[in-house]
Amino acid sequence: MTSDSRHLTLLDATMLVMGGIIGVGIFFKPHGVAQLVPEQGPFFGMWLFGALAALAGAMTFAELAGTFPKTGGWYVFLREGVGSLAAFLFAWIVLLVISTGACAAVAEFGAQRIEVLLGLTDDDPLRRRALAGGLIVAITALAMTGLKSGAIFQNLCMVAKLLVIAVVVIVGLAFFSEPALQAAPAILPSAPLTGRMVSAALPVLFTYGGWQLITYIAPHVENPERNLPRAIVWGVAGVGIVYLALNAALVRVLGMGGLSDLPDVAAVLAQRTLGANGAQVLEAAMAISAIGFLVATLITTPGIYVAMAREGLFLRAVGRTHSRTGAPIVALTIQATVALAYLGLSGDVRNELGDAVVFAEWIFHGLVGIALLRLRRHQPGLGRPFRSPFYPLFPMLYVLLAIGVVLGNLVTSPGHVTRLGLAVLAAGAVIYIPWRRLSARQSG
């Protein structure tokens, strides 16, 4: 691919990978993990596990992205390695729940942070949802001007959040030799450590998800065969370092007792390290982080719908892009409409529907690992600019991890939640069959 000012550089791509991962979860999940594993060794072990799991996913996606640098990314990997039905069902839950539901929830969270910064302390759900909707509309409008514009804005958000995290970490590690809070020692739960670590794995993995976003817009990256694998691996490695450093600062400043007892650990850390205005700085950082996540998600995910449409599995208009900006206007509009519709639902309903497809999403994580294993076996002659090292270690680990997450969700989640997730997949399968036949007749 020739160089073009509209194409994303390696830096843009790496920042998008990091921006898709570092959202708002890292500001809250350490507290929940510490409640489950208040022992310092196992606590850091869980975050190292998350980094290893993300690295296994990164190595798997990096090889597939270099091999198939096409619009749709993950969708294409599933289609090539597993089949069209799996690819369609993946895109189905991304559009209906995963991406759009997450964007609605994060937009509302970002709106809450903005309200606090503006001094609007009264609880006004209508105003908050209107502000959240405004964020989704504004970012969608930005995406319609072209990927490069969105990437530049996301880069600025990424730099801002990394600067705040860096200052907090440096101050916390350099100037605190012991916890600043006189919190009681962490109380060890009575449940066995192994079971508690399994439960803690889910929130840890949640904070590490998102490295796949850059694959959806692969052709828009300069020299994608070379730069996509590097961006994915470097971005995931960078996030792992950030997360471990931030958790080290939390433990140094708050201690395991404070980390497990205080629900708003990030705010307390900011106040202790940044002084009286620390809370405001953190609110701003969380607002920027939320906006950055929205940008990374909203500008990249339509690539899936474009790929579907060009194969006849979605409305043909969705596959069209603007002649000047290259933006998929119809796909962006549909995505924003679904996300805005989610804002009309209560937070409890959104959360329950999101939980219902968590295990379903991890089915597709496992399937992409299987796709790589199948392609290596059945198509050894494919050009592979990047090969996952120590093959088949990382894709096998990734598949085993996905199986564990799916089974863990089936065991720990309420029955009605898992049934809802299965119902969403079943509905997609029912729609796929006639749509596929119609597409075959039209193309024939």
Show the tokens assigned to 161. 């959040």
How far apart are the C-alpha atoms of 400 and 414, rounded to whole Å? 23
| 10-443 is classed CATH 3.40.140.10 | no
Q: Quick one: pLDDT at residue 350? A: 67
Show the tokens assigned to 367. 């399937």
Which residue do the tokens 């990256």 mark? Answer: 221
Q: What is the pLDDT along the chain (444 residues), one digit of tens a residue?
A: 344 555 899 999 999 999 999 988 898 899 999 999 998 999 999 999 999 999 999 999 999 999 999 999 999 999 999 999 999 999 999 998 889 988 998 999 999 999 999 998 888 999 999 999 999 999 999 999 999 999 999 999 999 999 999 999 999 999 887 776 655 555 666 678 888 888 888 889 889 988 899 999 999 999 999 999 999 999 999 999 999 999 999 999 999 988 988 888 888 999 999 988 888 999 999 999 999 999 999 999 999 999 999 988 898 999 999 988 899 999 999 999 999 998 988 767 666 766 677 778 889 999 999 999 999 999 988 989 999 999 999 999 999 999 988 887 777 767 777 787 888 889 999 999 888 887 767 665
Q: Quick one: pLDDT at residue 67? A: 96
List all residues 6 or more positions away from 96 whose beta carbon is below 8 Å from its beta carbon: 338, 424
List all residues 6 or more positions away from 392 whose beta carbon is below 8 Å from its beta carbon: 373, 376
- Whether 261 and 241 have beta carbons less than 8 Å apart is answered as no
How far apart are the C-alpha atoms of 277 and 192, rounded to whole Å? 41
How far apart are the C-alpha atoms of 436 and 440, rounded to whole Å? 6
How far apart are the C-alpha atoms of 30 and 419, rounded to whole Å? 29
Q: How far is CA 23 from the centre of its chain?
A: 8
Q: Which helix (H) or strand (E) holds 78?
A: helix 74-81
- Whether 83 and 95 have beta carbons less than 8 Å apart is answered as no
Nearest to 230 by CA among 62, 25, 114, 8: 62
How far apart are the C-alpha atoms of 182 and 101, rounded to whole Å? 40
Q: How far is CA 286 from the centre of its chain?
A: 16
Show the tokens assigned to 58. 């990164």
How far apart are the C-alpha atoms of 335 and 339, rounded to whole Å? 6
437 burial via Cβ count (<10 Å: 0-12, 13-18, 19+): exposed
DSSP string for 18-58: HHHH-SSGGGTHHHHHHHH--SHHHHHHHHHHHHHHHHHHH
Question: What are the domain boundaries of the chain?
Answer: 10-443
Give the Å distances, CA to CA, from 44 to 175, 192, 405.
Answer: 21, 17, 20
